[in-house]
Amino acid sequence: MVTDEILTADEASRYYKRVPTHKGVEVVIRAIRPDDKYEILDIFPTLSQRTLYMRFFRVIEAPSLESLSRYTNVDFATTLAFVVTKGPNQNIVAAGRLIRATEHSKVAELSCLVVDHYQHQGVGNALVADLFQAGKAWGIEQVIALVHSENHPMLRLLKNQGYPCEMLFDEGEFTVTLDISQPPSDENRASYRTTMAAMHQAV
């Protein structure tokens, strides 16, 4: 997809793409569907406390089917919500979304989660890269992510996207702002690496 393409809400609701992760795992990235709530309900008890804490910043109870209905039944004008599926049964292994305040807003907040058993295989990277690429066509120029300071995989993942990036640290979490209107570059990846190294030395 090139940057001057436009992704309408209707097209976003039918999004489907087969991609290899950078670690060679074949996955499908597609729009979330209302009936995904049943599979997500089953997945929830398998998630580790750490994974849930890194995603929600607190200990949370298993959600009800009703609250999952709200999660899977989205308005694609304001929420670009994808799941990643894998294997012969195309089981859900990750979910992520960009949420914007109005359908004309150019700023969106990112959240994502990869099921524990499938972490570290490039799934999160593939999902976020695809959300950013589709997000540009959907009208987003700036992405904000709230990341726990100990969430090194997520900080690395965001860094690896190669966009100009600002990080603000406050009370144990980073607010990471990425300018996805610019083309990604190795220079940005490298300068981010320097910033991270400096931060680790300073702590």
Ligand X SMILES: CC(C)(COP(=O)(O)OP(=O)(O)OC[C@H]1O[C@@H](n2cnc3c(N)ncnc32)[C@H](O)[C@@H]1OP(=O)(O)O)[C@@H](O)C(=O)NCCC(=O)NCCS
Which of left, alpha, beta for 139 (phi over 0: left; psi -120 to 50: alpha)? left
Region binding ligand X by CB under 6 A among candidate stretches 6-14, 38-46, 149-157, 180-188: 149-157
- Binding letters toward ligand X, positions 113-142, x by CB under 6 A: xx----xxxxxxx-----------------
Provide the residue type at 11 as one letter.
E
Chain positions 183 to 202 lying near ligand X, rule: CB under 6 A, are: none
**Binding residue count for ligand X, defined by CB under 6 A:** 23
Residue number, 68 or 112, with CB nearest to ligand X = 112
Strands 165-170 and 142-148: unpaired
* Cβ 123 to ligand X shortest distance, Å: 4
72 binds ligand X (CB under 6 A): no
3-state secondary structure string across 18-81: EEECCCCCEEEEEECCCCHHHHHHHHHHHCCHHHHHHHHCCCCCCCCHHHHHHHHCCCCCCEEE
Cβ burial 11-45 (10 Å sphere, 16+ → b, else e): ebbebeeebebeeebebbbbbbeeebbebbbebee
Residue number, 9 or 57, with CB nearest to ligand X = 57
**Paired strand residues for 111:** 97
Residue number, 37 or 86, with CB nearest to ligand X = 86
Region binding ligand X by CB under 6 A among candidate stretches 12-20, 36-44, 145-153, 190-198: 145-153
Tell me the residue number closest to ligand X, measured at CB.
124
Among 83, 108, 147, 165, binds ligand X (CB under 6 A): 147
160 binds ligand X (CB under 6 A): yes
Chain residues in the site for ligand X (CB under 6 A): 51, 54-55, 111-114, 119-125, 145, 147, 151-154, 156-157, 160
